[in-house]
Structure 1
Amino acid sequence: MDRSEIQKAIQRGLTPMGAPDPLTLSEWAAEHFYLSAESSYVEQKWEAYPPQVAVMNAISNDDIREVDWIKSARVGYTKIILAAMLYMAEHKRRNQAIWQPTDDDSDDFVKTELEPALRDVTAMRKVFPQYLARHKSNTLKQKKFVDSILFTKGGKAAKNFRRISIDTGFLDEADAFDRDVEKEGDPFTLAKKRTEGATFPKMVVGSTPKLKGFSLIEDRAALADVLLRFHIRCPHCGEWITLQWGGKDKPFGFKWVNGDPETVAHLCCECSALFTQADYLTVWGSGRWISDSGIWTADGIRFYNAADEEVPVPVHVAFHIWTAYSPQATWADIVREFLAAAEKAKAGDMSKMKTFVNTTRGEVWEEDVEKTDSDALAERAESFPLRVVPMGGLVLVAGVDVQADRFEVVVWALGRGEESWTVDYVQLHANPADETEWDKLDAYLQTAFPHAAGSMLTIEAAAVDTGGHYTHQAYNFCRQRARRKIFAVKGDSQQGKPIKGRSSSQDVNWRGKVIKRGVKLWLVGTDTAKDLLHGRLQIVGAGPGAVHFSKELPETFYKQLTSEYRVLAKTQSGDQYRWVKPSGKRNEVLDCTVYSMFCAQQLDLHRFTDKMWERLEAAVQPPNHDLFAAAPAPAPLPEKPPERPVDAPAPRPDPAPRRSRISRFA
């Protein structure tokens, strides 16, 4: 080895020990970043627009730990996070991960954005020598740099948020993520946990907003210390203003003459003077990001209050910007897009207008949604007590939702035509990670409930949700009780599937033991069940499909049962209705009710003939029963009732011994 090679080897070895020159992301990108031909309109060296500089520097500012960006199309978000990943790898040598909504999205991002950038940004070659090689350090799932690593993952599976430690996390198109990733939590919390322990933890989240009330990026921005919007000085009056769409009845924003987009100009909200896009581009270089409270920054490094006094850098910053600020789109084109959407809207097609609001204006879309009024259901509640099966109820089914600190159980009584009555709603405090704690649920599911006709009924079938953290514990519980019709269930991710879907045998890992041909896992067509339930909740009075509620149910029961909205969503298969849960709402009662509907189908109640119902009625509530007799009192309390919350319903009847289990349904 000659002397030059030795010197190069020594230099490479000493490089990690050297301190890099301090550079912000905008400075680094101006020097090194390049727009590749595969993913850009024009292949060229990067040059940031004035509104982009502060966002880029906020990402590289170690005092800021969370950066959110509510954005429209054509504002450069994808390029900025791409530049940020290369900057973190080459300049700061930090471990990173980027999550896309799905695995396919992640693979596409790597192929069309990341790999061309690694090829064309020459500064990366000293930290990523394998950029053109097939190598274990260069895959679709990870890029291993000198002194750091970048993970590229999809956000659908909870496993993709485990077993990695990073300094910086990116979430792209946040509104396309599931709100609750396989019942283990929201994607932001799962991703943020990967940065715990980092010296300079950083989360960068960006998205085009979607539906109001369901937008994850809108929820994130609401939690930020400041929400900043880009302001310019009006070319006429000099006041700080934002570019606003305005509207036909608004005295500010975009205005044009006689339907001609080429005449468009912006009307200042302060002086009512008009200025063109060309006028805007003469002043945008001196713009500022300003919040409603007056906090502002020009560079994303230093922050000031309304009195222009420097203030501490906020820890969590959110930005909002829309297409009008970008020179890549002319204002005339924006107006043309709106006029085309408005024409479609006149014919009842709101799809283009929704796209315009989301992707051009960068705002959430407010849409009429189908939902059931929880207050209206509560007003329909009847005087029958809980824990006593009313007349008409012939078969008991239960749904169980497993939470981190409890089991939630809803018991329904079903009668002729699948008319239903609430029999019980209970929260059993327990630690599902502990095998012995499942005994509380086992004891409850063996409860014998008195019937208004004088007999006793037990739960004929129960479905236990296996999603979340305690999948294998749930599998084991159901496997041991399969003969009692305790079913392991999971919601089917595909739309339009039957309530009682397909089943598959699952291996059960229990204390290191693998049981072949283990529990049978059933998929539940949750959207189909919710459609059916939504229709049934509209039935007032008695009869087939009617749903009856006890006045003893708490208010939270109705709120959870009606927590989800039915909205029209665009998919690859066309427009489809989807049930979605707004942020912060709980839906355990709804899930338990859906699982109870699955149990009804497992028992084939939807196929019962009149004669079959008559035989069941004769067994459970004989015709000679005195209909005017008082309902029987609940069974005596158990000596040691399970622990339950302060606001939980009253204690439950004593569980019946297994050998005396009463079933007239069989």
Structure 2
Amino acid sequence: MGRKINLRLVDLTEIDKALRAGLRSLAAVEPISLSDWAAKHFYLSAESSYVEQRWQAYPYQHAIMNAISNDEIEEVTFMKSARVGYTKMILAAIGYFAEHKRRNQALWQPTDDDSDEFCKTELEPMIRDVPVMETVFPGFLAKSKDNTLKQKRFLGSSLHLRGGKAAKNYRRLSVDVAILDELDGFDIDVEKEGSPVTLARKRIEGATFPKLVTGSTPKLKGFSLIEARFDQADKRFYVHVPCPHCGEMIRLRWGGKDKAFGFKWVNDDPDTVMHACEQCGGLMSQADYLAGWQHSRWIAADGTWIDDQSNYRDAAGELIATPKRIGFHIWTAYSPQTSWAQIVREFLSAKTKASGGDKSELKTFVNTTLGETWEEEVEKADLHALMARAESYPLRQVQMGGLVLVAGVDTQDNRFEVVVWAIGRGEEMWVVDYMVIEANPADERDWDKLGTYLDTRFDHVAGGSLRIEAAALDTGGHFTHQAYNFVRHAGASSRIYAIRGEPRQGHPVKGRASMQDVNWRGKVIKNGIKLWHVGTDTAKDLLFGRLKVTQPGPGYVHFSKDLPAEFYHQLTAEVRMLQKVASGEQYRWVKVRQRNEVLDCTVYGIFAAHTLDLHRYTERMWQKLEEVVQPKNGDLFGESPAAPALPAPSARPAASGRSAGNGWLDGLEVNL
């Protein structure tokens, strides 16, 4: 006998909604490009836009956005002026990767404050105003560890927000997409751990579809990280537009008085500005440009171009493989946000100020309007001239005239770098050795390798051998504790000095020492070893002057032909240029390439020479030292005479203003 079952009526519509919502995350997502996603979902928020409205891309933005979303492209570099919509494209990309592709992302700004400001004024309004973002971030308004200024945890992915000044901000992140915004605002070398680009790339290693996006307004020529990335791209693209007269695809260029093409105007009247075609000379107004800008095209120097479907084609129109690394360059003239007349007004104003000696506005114009680097007048050593004057003497052998050996040591994550210099009369210098010692400075046992090397004796061409009389070891970086231990265990008699650089203008090469040490727990110990502060910019000024001495003798610097080219690149890795500081403007030494260990070691070697007071030696003192190190000997193959005994410390002449003994090499070891 059957049983009657009472079933409660349910709303089948609600069941259907619940099932669809639960299964939505398992559904296969239809592929869509970033430009199409933005056209469908993206919105310009009131806080960060002149007009609050739905996104409508400019014609030149489609190819950039689709390169960012193309999984075949690993790196996109965008060297740009201001007012071309880069920040909005990055915001759209963040939403796209979070909602559509569910990929982990990291975005670095130059500083922590920049990162926080970007989050509050750009990112959070975007998440609030783009409705589709609610599907991946339903708890947007909730206070949670998943919704902070440093991290947004979406459904299926996360976004990390960091400042780029500290090396720690690049660690312990594994992401698919790495974005560096305003790259030229970052330090070239982040706390001596490498460039921000290199550190960011490490975060996407291992990703199935790694993506690195860098964008910036460029700054100084030779110091620009974005220009360097742009130059290294596989393909570099520029926007071309059809000339309304001849129909040729041309670039909008600034031009100049000596150029037949570019921006031209009459009698300093910005409202008369037109663009002259480099092919036919025909004049194009901004209205003409905007009438035809839908037909603009990104074209590389070799004729490669990007079609409307973001495919890559050669000059003949044939499809080619998608490049792995792509660079885009654009400047303000292409943007409808600024009139061409306004661009000319900005230039005329900057030109007027520059004629009066103030080039700051002209520099800003070149950077933020033209999207180009500003070439500053700098002082630098001539790399090729130094290489050309290298001499035919072997390394690890002290040449005639070299009387005292000093060394500078730089500590890196996986090695020690050492440069040994011989100092002679008038502080003439010879490179004696350049050594890279592979080691792990975190392992105190590996410091024995450095100790063994610093105990090396170097043969002198006059007979006998010399040891290193003083060495300076940089204690900055990650291995301060180990460096202090090394110096302490070596003892005062070893003349190994713990140092730290002090770039402040006017700081003496050999500054004051402070008592500083740490125990194995990292706690400061009173009355520990001495930490010496080295006037690095002062030492570099001194070295730069010596490198300009062209004839052997006092102050001349000798190089061996056995030195590798990298030695010279590192020695000339910095230039002296005028920079803004709190007190106004000062000339400072600034890196133009990442590797500069040879220069640092040489600066430390100069400090070591100053600890021996060699810069205070009198003619009589040099003569006495020569008699010890390279005595006159008529028969070099005969029996070597015994080394003359140096005067006892109390009898040695004191340098001016110094206590007796400070001007001499106590315990100088010379084997004859």
Band the TM-score falls in, shorter-chain normalisation? 0.7 to 0.9
Name the residue aligned to 1:432: 440
- Say whether the 8 Å CA contact 1:287–1:298 is kept in structure 2: no
Name the residue aligned to 2:538: 528
- Say whether the 8 Å CA contact 2:419–2:601 is kept in structure 1: yes
For the pair 1:563 / 2:563, whether they are aligned, the reply is no
CA–CA distance in 2 between the matches of 1:66 and 1:602?
A: 49
CA–CA distance in 2 between the matches of 1:61 and 1:532?
A: 52
CA–CA distance in 1 between the matches of 2:414 and 2:636?
A: 34
SS in 2 for 1:460: strand
CA–CA distance in 1 between the matches of 2:93 and 2:629?
A: 79
* Structure label with greater radius of gyration: 2
Shift of 1:267: 0.8
Q: What is the correspondence of 1:162-181 to structure 2 with a 5 Å cutoff? A: 162-181=171-190
Name the residue aligned to 1:579: 589
Amino acid of the structure 2 residue aligned with 1:310: L
Shift of 1:257: 0.8
- Say whether the 8 Å CA contact 1:390–1:421 is kept in structure 2: no
CA–CA distance in 1 between the matches of 2:107 and 2:535?
A: 31
SS in 2 for 1:48: coil
Shift of 1:516: 5.7
Name the residue aligned to 2:430: 422
Distance 1:117-1:425 versus aligned 2 partners, 3 A rule:
same
For the pair 1:69 / 2:78, whether they are aligned, the reply is yes
Distance 1:127-1:519 versus aligned 2 partners, 3 A rule:
farther
List runs of 5+ in structure 2 lacking aligned partners: 1-9, 641-665
- Per-residue deviation, residues 93-120 of structure 1 (Å, max 9, x unmatched): 1100011222232223223322332333
Shift of 1:428: 4.2
Distance 1:324-1:550 versus aligned 2 partners, 3 A rule:
closer
Shift of 1:334: 0.8
CA–CA distance in 2 between the matches of 1:161 and 1:239?
A: 46
Name the residue aligned to 2:338: 329
Amino acid of the structure 2 residue aligned with 1:532: L
Name the residue aligned to 1:640: none
Of 354, 374, 382, 1:373 maps to: 382
- Say whether the 8 Å CA contact 2:400–2:630 is kept in structure 1: no
Shift of 1:420: 4.0
CA–CA distance in 2 between the matches of 1:175 and 1:379?
A: 34
Name the residue aligned to 1:663: 668
CA–CA distance in 2 between the matches of 1:412 and 1:353?
A: 44
Of 270, 295, 299, 2:304 maps to: 295
Shift of 1:273: 1.0
CA–CA distance in 1 between the matches of 2:622 and 2:236?
A: 62
Q: Which one is further off, 324-333 or 429-438?
A: 429-438
Distance 1:430-1:197 versus aligned 2 partners, 3 A rule:
closer
CA–CA distance in 2 between the matches of 1:627 and 1:112?
A: 77
Amino acid of the structure 2 residue aligned with 1:333: Q
Name the residue aligned to 2:656: none
CA–CA distance in 1 between the matches of 2:592 and 2:130?
A: 42
Distance 1:389-1:296 versus aligned 2 partners, 3 A rule:
closer
- Say whether the 8 Å CA contact 1:457–1:662 is kept in structure 2: no
Shift of 1:83: 1.7
Shift of 1:551: 4.9
Q: What is the correspondence of 1:297-316 to structure 2 with a 5 Å cutoff? A: 297-299=306-308, 301-316=310-325
CA–CA distance in 2 between the matches of 1:624 and 1:193?
A: 51
CA–CA distance in 2 between the matches of 1:493 and 1:136?
A: 41
Shift of 1:141: 1.7
For the pair 1:272 / 2:281, whether they are aligned, the reply is yes
- Say whether the 8 Å CA contact 1:53–1:300 is kept in structure 2: no
Shift of 1:285: 1.3
Name the residue aligned to 2:605: 596
CA–CA distance in 2 between the matches of 1:125 and 1:520?
A: 59
Distance 1:7-1:365 versus aligned 2 partners, 3 A rule:
same
- Per-residue deviation, residues 255-291 of structure 1 (Å, max 9, x unmatched): 1111111100011122211110011101001211111
- Say whether the 8 Å CA contact 2:481–2:522 is kept in structure 1: no
- Say whether the 8 Å CA contact 2:419–2:435 is kept in structure 1: no
CA–CA distance in 2 between the matches of 1:380 and 1:312?
A: 47
SS in 2 for 1:311: coil
Of 213, 228, 240, 1:204 maps to: 213
Percent of residue pairs identical: 58
Name the residue aligned to 1:345: 354
Distance 1:131-1:624 versus aligned 2 partners, 3 A rule:
closer
CA–CA distance in 1 between the matches of 2:306 and 2:373?
A: 25
Shift of 1:243: 0.8
Q: What is the correspondence of 1:422-501 to structure 2 with a 5 Å cutoff? A: 422=430, 424-432=432-440, 435-449=444-458, 457-466=466-475, 474=483, 476-481=485-490, 483=492, 484-491=494-501, 499=509, 500=511
- Per-residue deviation, residues 581-601 of structure 1 (Å, max 9, x unmatched): 434x74332111011233345
For the pair 1:537 / 2:553, whether they are aligned, the reply is no
Distance 1:548-1:272 versus aligned 2 partners, 3 A rule:
closer
CA–CA distance in 1 between the matches of 2:613 and 2:50?
A: 59
CA–CA distance in 2 between the matches of 1:91 and 1:302?
A: 21
Distance 1:63-1:149 versus aligned 2 partners, 3 A rule:
same
Return the structure number with greater relative CO, CA threshold 8 A, min gap 6: 1
- Say whether the 8 Å CA contact 1:58–1:300 is kept in structure 2: no
SS in 2 for 1:442: helix
